[in-house]
Chains A and B, each alone.
Chain A
Amino acid sequence: MKKYVLGRVFRAIIAVFVVTSIAILMVYTMIPRDNVFREDTGQMSKLSGDPDALSDFKNNKWEQLGYLDFVRQSEMCQSSSDYNACMLIEEEPYVDEYGQDMVEYHYSDVAQEVIDKYTADGYTVSYYVEGGFYATRDFSGLEIIVNFYKNFIYIDHPWKVEDPDNPDMERSIYFATDYNGVPALKCSGCEHNYLIYFDGSFPFIHQNILNLNFGSSYPTYQNSSTLDVINQNQGSLVSEERTLPNGSTGKTSENYHTCVYKQTSALDSRDQNKFPDNYANCKSYYKDPSMVSISYLFGIISLVLAYLIAIPAGVSMARNKGKIQDKIGTVYINVMISLPSLAFIYFMKMLGFSFGLPDKFPIYSFGDIRSYILPIVILALMSTASVMIWIRRYMVDQSNADYVKFAKAKGLSQKEIFRKHILKNAIIPIVNGIPSSIILCISGSVITESVFAVPGMGKMLPDAIKSFNNNMVITLTFIFTGLSIFSILIGDLLMTVVDPRIQLTAKGGND
């Protein structure tokens, strides 16, 4: 069993990486790379008058995103025999045939050598309008994938920080109490001040040692990593009276558990006042839950609701097979299955709207229960039909089993037989599907979240695709794939709990 699970986990991880790699390849090679700037209109209009700055900006961004290797003239000349000669640009003014004043640029022989060398290495050398040159080389598909995973796993350790202005920094991991007096594992010399800490927000124990790095989000949610975008709380800042790291109390919105190292040269006097050390770069507390939490919240509540509705409904259909309950249930299932989900969502939205429920989440936003009702009810109802149909089917199947006949002969009442014997058998395949349903609820809420403008992870995927936020698309692909694969594993493990006959073994059923 243990061996089997380990094997499954191992294969699951490989599968997730394969899927993610395919996503990376598709996103990076099949979508025109100019598209990533389409949503960044501010930057584009600012640079539209300056073609050299624009090409610099684009190449920088592409390099950052991992499309290509961008080498500036100065970097190219580092490798030449004579740096200054290489950097030299001679200007030769001339007048073209339309009578315009033009400038022709000439480069030294040393520069020409470097250019030839880079060209020979597979680089494309281009020239700026205002003089000067640079080289670019597009990465192959394989290089793109390798580069993506090169920095994928981020491990924090006491030799992580390099700060020339603070050479005597202590480098150690130690137990201490945090500013609230709660024990925590702290570190000096790491990127993060707190490696392991506890607080009041789910899942209560947090770590900063191992993190995954999916790159930064662009063009939407610029300058933060994609994981931060979906994991971090949203909305307005929350300021509260808190104990500051230096011991005094003050009103602040900063979450001191999240502080990372700030180079000494970047510390200002405020930082020095507030923080006893260099860990002065902190994230803030925001009012509203993160995208991930919203999606999970919606997913899990709606799923619980769905099962609360569907299991009794399915059981009652099975117990009253062929009677009115069964017929009504069948009509309901048929309607739910045949109706396109978008039509159902809009119908429910209209219906809810006529009862005074908001048709968009942000109208009342997080603080108001009314915001949640419609999306959750819709998500729940959409998954009831299939659960009902299966539970009914399994119950009916099981009711004809011999052990039911014998249970009846034992003198048990119909109710006892259903509750103690049939349900436990019929629930086995249902239990197997529960984890996948949770995932389906989260990733399947794409439409619902979009329709109601719920700021969750489901809505993030179409948003990211629309705005060509490559890293975000890959991050979400990774998360959804991982969740799906592991949910199937969890489903199988759950099955061994409810069905004693099922044992997972690595030997392929030969023992």
Chain B
Amino acid sequence: MEEKKNIILSVKDLVVKFKVRDRVLTAIRNISLDFEEGKVVAIVGESGSGKSVFTKTFTGMLETNGEVTQGEIWFEGEDLLKFKKDEEWMKIRGKKIATVFQDPMTSLNPVRTIGYQISEVIIKHQGKSKEEAKAEAIKLMERVGIYDAARRYDEYPFMYSGGMRQRIVIAIALACRPKILICDEPTTALDVTIQAQIIHLIKELSNEYGFTTIYITHDLGVVANVADVVAVMYAGQIIEYGKVEEVFYEPRHPYTWGLLSSLPQLGEKGHELYAIHGTPPSLFEEIKGDAFAPRSDYAMRIDFEEEPPIFKITDTHYAKTWLLDPRAPKVEPPETIRNLHEKMVAITAKGGIYGER
């Protein structure tokens, strides 16, 4: 992780805590991660693993009861966590780092026109006049695939379908040519064909506009299709990190094995789908050892006693499990995910993306 590449955003030892009814919950536990410029990074993990919270710290959008208690986030030579006031954040938020949220149905203000909501950002961040903003907004709308954009400029969100609204949300996010686009489960609320279109659109735009994309998703199909780099999160930590091929075809962490085994695409007719047993640990209590140990079929005694360090597998592939310690017994990943590549190729040979069935 110490390599000298073009690092656009660097997170160092981040800890985020929430106050929930007088109890303190630790949502992010000492994450360090570098984001390379122009790459597509996918953050995967189950619900509650801290994916969204992690990315929200980049734009200072934590809920009011949340707090970054430790760490640094370096972006363009500034530590974002030094920001105290909203005004400072506003130089970054929307302008340099934009976010696309999960539900396009509710992301737009229902009583403002589409045009207003796009040009508002252009006026605000680029200081353009109303007319210039309108012209640019229409251009953007056309770019994200809205037909007859000039006419639809004055329409309201309720007149748009879900997929079109997500296109508008993307247009708004891109209105200021951000350096980083965070896509917080951008396709979860959409149906499968629209998902593919939206993912394709984001991919295209990222090449065209040259921004770094951070995907938050629990759809591994999406990950395999678009990501360059995958970070697997569990209980507020990144437990495996690497290029998409590495994580998919040579996963090292038992949790990643579990996740991949759960892919519905790998299910066989007549057999029950695989599921990781148990539930994630409570984040209210201090976690001792490996957070995944109680649910892992490969847990060793040390997993319950001491937190594993991050082991380097290749220059780009890291995992946080004691199994990589030289003293650990040699274990093989479960049968289901061996030769995953061949299986996936076989599935996708029918056409479509991984996410489709």
Contacts and interface: CB of A to CB of B under 8 A. Distances in A.
Interface of A: 401-403, 405-414, 416, 420-421, 424-425, 428, 498-501
B111 A420 contact: no
B158 A501 contact: yes
Interface in B133-173: 156, 158, 169, 172-173
A402 B112 contact: no
Given A405-B61, A409-B61, A414-B86, A425 B93 contact: no
Interface in B77-129: 86-87, 90, 93-95, 98-99, 101, 103, 106-112, 120-121, 124-125
Contacts of B120: 410, 412, 420
Contact of A402 (B98, B101, B173): B101
B95 to A, nearest CB: 5
Interface residues of B, number: 29
A428 B111 contact: yes
Given A401-B106, A407-B109, A411-B124, A501 B94 contact: no
20 contacts: A402-B106, A403-B106, A403-B109, A405-B101, A405-B107, A406-B99, A406-B169, A408-B61, A409-B61, A409-B99, A410-B173, A411-B95, A412-B120, A412-B124, A413-B87, A421-B112, A424-B109, A498-B111, A500-B110, A500-B111
Nearest to A408: B61
B101 A411 contact: no
Which of A402, A409, A416 is the most central at the interface, judged by chain B CB atoms within 10 Å of its CB? Answer: A409
B95 A409 contact: no
Given A409-B61, A411-B93, A499 B111 contact: yes
Closest 4 CB pairs of A and B: A411-B94, A402-B106, A409-B99, A406-B107
A421 B109 contact: yes
A410 B94 CA distance: 4
A495 to B, nearest CB: 11
Which of A402, A406, A413 is the most central at the interface, judged by chain B CB atoms within 10 Å of its CB? Answer: A406
B86 A413 contact: yes
Contacts of A424: 109, 111-112
A21 to B, nearest CB: 41
Contacts of B101: 402, 405-406, 409
B114 to A, nearest CB: 11
Contacts of A416: 124
B119 to A, nearest CB: 12
B176 interface: yes
B108 A406 contact: yes
Nearest to A404: B109
A406 B108 CA distance: 7
Contacts of A420: 112, 120
A501 B109 contact: no
Contacts of A410: 93-94, 98, 120-121, 124, 172-173
Interface of B: 59, 61, 86-87, 90, 93-95, 98-99, 101, 103, 106-112, 120-121, 124-125, 156, 158, 169, 172-173, 176
B156 A500 contact: yes
A500 B158 contact: yes
Contacts of B103: 402
B21 to A, nearest CB: 15
Contacts of A401: 106
A298 B123 CA distance: 43
B91 to A, nearest CB: 8
Contacts of A406: 99, 101, 107-108, 169, 172
Contacts of B124: 410-412, 416
B273 to A, nearest CB: 31
B111 to A, nearest CB: 5
A413 B156 contact: no
Contact of A501 (B95, B156, B173): B156
Contacts of A409: 59, 61, 93-94, 98-99, 101, 173
Nearest to B101: A406
Contacts of A501: 110-111, 156, 158
A498 B111 CA distance: 8
A329 B99 CA distance: 36
Contact of B108 (A403, A408, A412, A500): A403
A492 to B, nearest CB: 16
Contacts of A408: 61, 93
Contacts of A428: 111
Nearest to A401: B106
B319 to A, nearest CB: 32
A411 B169 contact: no
A406 B109 CA distance: 9
B283 to A, nearest CB: 22
Contacts of A499: 110-111
Contacts of B106: 401-403
Contact of A403 (B59, B110, B173): B110
A66 B66 CA distance: 75
A419 B68 CA distance: 29
Contacts of B107: 402-403, 405-406
Given A412-B120, A412-B124, 7 more contacts: A406-B108, A406-B169, A406-B172, A408-B93, A409-B99, A499-B111, A501-B158
A412 B86 contact: no
Nearest to A409: B99
A491 B98 CA distance: 39
B181 to A, nearest CB: 11
Nearest to A321: B64
Nearest to B92: A411
A266 to B, nearest CB: 64
Contacts of A411: 90, 93-95, 121, 124-125, 176
Contacts of B173: 409-410
A486 B200 CA distance: 53
A424 B95 CA distance: 25
A402 B93 CA distance: 16
B86 A425 contact: no
Contact of A413 (B90, B111, B112, B176): B90
Contacts of B61: 405, 408-409
A401 B90 CA distance: 20
A2 B322 CA distance: 74
A320 to B, nearest CB: 12
A405 to B, nearest CB: 7
A372 B260 CA distance: 77
Contacts of A414: 86
Contacts of A425: 109-111
Contacts of B110: 403, 425, 499-501
A501 B61 CA distance: 29
Contacts of A407: 109
Nearest to B125: A411
Nearest to A405: B101
A420 B158 CA distance: 18
A425 B112 CA distance: 9
A476 to B, nearest CB: 39
A405 B59 CA distance: 12
Nearest to A424: B111
A409 B156 CA distance: 20
A142 B198 CA distance: 70
